[in-house]
Amino acid sequence: MTKKKKIASVLLLFIIFCLFFRIDFRFKNTVECCSDDFSYFSHAETIAIDRDFDYTNQLPDYHPFVFRYKDKIAPVGFPGSGILSSPFIFVGNIVDNVLNINQESDILNYKLLLYSMSPIFYFFFSYTLLFKSLSKLNIHANKYLLLTLISGSGITYFAFERFSMTHVFEMFTISLIIWNSIKFYKYENKVSGILLPLSLLLAFLVRMSNFYIFFIPLIIKNLVRTRLGKTFSILKNHYFIGSSLFSMYLFTYLSNKIYGKIIFNPQEIYGTNVTLNDVIYKENNFLTLVVDIFETSFKVFFGNEFGIFWISPIIFAGLFLILFDFKNMHKLYNLFLLLCFAQNFAIIYIWKSTAASYGFRYLFSLVPLCILIYFDYKDKGRFKNLLNYALVMSIFSNLSILFFETTEQTQLSTVEIKNSFGLIRNYVETEYVTGVFKSFLELNSYLILFTTSLVGVLFFKILVSIIGSQSVVDFLTNLGLPTSNQDFINYLDNIELITFSKLFVIVFVLGIFSYYIVLKLKYVEN
């Protein structure tokens, strides 16, 4: 690749990242109470700023959903993502104090800015770990194909837009488990023997309902044995045993500090007791139960409301690659993989909901495993049509993220309506997939996409700085564009308030990642 092509590639990738980077949740001065986002933010804030697990100054008295036990109060969200993002809040808070920035009034203060950048950091860290994990398995994966598949899973939305959710952190910790498992089973690496239990602990703390993560080292052991013909015994490794004991101690310590007691059941934190058995035994007729499971699965696979065939093709392909390979169903590798999928699908069957955001987000933690499955079969030259489908549909699914909430056809409802499963819920869009195609034909969707992305923010910031906000409004009005609505006026006001230094931080981070992917990330034969 010539120097000009390299520069062009870096620039193109940078522009794509800037289009994905959205400001909807960032044009604020904090993460607002009292959503799921706020719960995870509260964990990060109490660790980074208060340096304790006392949430009394994070959670207001009127907070509707909190965990209470004796004199303890805690967010219902799990603490793992807060642990991982707390260093970013810590640094951002220091910058705000040095610059004497008022966090209560300053739009996108550095504490919020760096906190919002943390999932982007872990997104690219996960991507790099998966690329290098495939290299350790002697799989030469195309790095752009890998990025397209991961991004097209839907998880990109939670890195570049709704940043205070757990899904990117789930992908990171599971990618870390995979990386350390491969290194141990291939080389009997002592450091990985120590880090593997800690990786499992982190992954469990990020989402304590993901019990399937403890199958992943067994899955990797089978994969390493199949591909490389050898493995080492981890249960006899003193480093692994010692780290496991320390990790169990650390879990009990953190659980006691946060909740006042040791908790393994996530429903105890959320204050619910709904189980799969409860849902199954509601049906008196076995045939009715089977039909209900089939109908629910069909809607998850192919439904117009974020069906994974359209919106998360790598997850769809990962599951069906296992199911189609019937002759290997007896192998432990496949059985463990099916159990991983089964647990996540069971959650959807229980709640019968997409979980009020982009896509079937309860499935997004499966992305790292699906990536391994995809490239394993691709390297063996099997099921090429299914692999090609995943690539093509990943391009569409990336576009669907960009056009999310750009038109009425792709917006989630703000009132309770009936979802695809027949339940009355808020934040629903039963015609999302067809709505994406319709949004391709609407000029307004492109205007909103541009305006709410970092590309638009940079463009308007420069324009406002040169000619002033009123001149910008007059110019756009003369072009016949809608400038009189309050949202656009607020947008320009926020543009004026945000300093170039904050925008530079974002540009610098995205630029570094673009440079690294194009010029530095390479397959190394092991």
| pLDDT, tens only, 502-519 | 999 999 999 999 999 999
The answer to whether the pTM exceeds 0.85 is yes
Query: Per-residue DSSP letters for 103-124?
Result: TTTSTT-HHHHHHHHHHHHHHH
| Residue 152 near residue 391, CB atoms below 8 Å | no
Spatial distance between the Cα atoms of 281 and 283, rounded to a whole number of angstroms: 5
Token look-up 């019937």 returns 326
Dihedral of alpha carbons 134, 397, 367, 387, sign: negative
Q: What integer pLDDT is reported at residue 523 of this predicted model?
A: 81
How many Å apart are CA 446 and CA 442, to the nearest integer?
Answer: 7
CA-CA distance, 366 to 352, in Å (whole number)? 19
Report the chain (526 residues): mean pLDDT per 10 consecutive residues. Answer: 89 97 92 90 95 88 84 92 97 95 89 97 98 96 97 97 96 98 94 97 96 95 89 91 97 95 87 64 74 93 97 96 74 84 92 91 97 94 93 97 95 93 93 96 93 96 92 86 82 92 96 96 81
Give dist(CA 173, CA 216) in Å, integer: 11
Name the residue ranges covered by the structural domains of the chain: 3-21+453-520, 108-402
How far, in Å, CA of 348 to CA of 174, rounded?
A: 20
Residue in the structure block whose two tokens are 């100054």: 57
**Helix or strand holding residue 318 (H, E):** helix 313-324
For residue 503, report the phi and psi dihedrals to the nearest 5 degrees: -65, -35
Is 389:320 a contact under the CB 8 Å cutoff? no
Q: Per residue in 481-512, is it b (16+ CB within 10 Å) or e — as a string?
A: eebeeeebeebbebbeebeeebbebbbebbbe
User: Is there a contact between 255 and 208 (Cβ–Cβ < 8 Å)?
Assistant: no
Q: What is the 3-state secondary structure (H, E, C) of 321-361?
A: HHHHCHHHCCCHHHHHHHHHHHHHHHHHHHHCCCCCCCCCH
Residue that has been written with the tokens 């992943």 in this structure: 216
Instruction: Give the span between the Cα atoms of 143 and 140, in whole angstroms.
Output: 9
Rounded to whole angstroms, the Cα distance separating 52 from 491 reads 37
Neighbours of 185 (CB within 10 A): 25
Please confirm whether the linkage preceding 34 is cis (ω < 30° from 0). Answer: yes
Those residues whose C-beta lies under 8 Å from the C-beta of residue 408, and which sit 6 or more positions away, are 435
pLDDT in tens, 167-217: 999 999 999 999 999 999 999 999 999 999 999 999 999 999 999 999 999
CA 399 → CA 155, 233, 436, 440, distances in Å? 13, 44, 8, 9
Alpha-carbon distance of 122 to 88, in angstroms, equals 12
Helices H / strands E in the chain, number of each: 24, 4
Q: What is the DSSP letter of 517?
A: I
- Whether 141 contacts 134, CB under 8 Å: yes
Q: Tell me the two tokens of residue 187.
A: 């080389």
Burial class (CB in 10 A: 0-12, 13-18, 19+), 63: middle
Q: What pLDDT was estimated at residue 495? A: 93
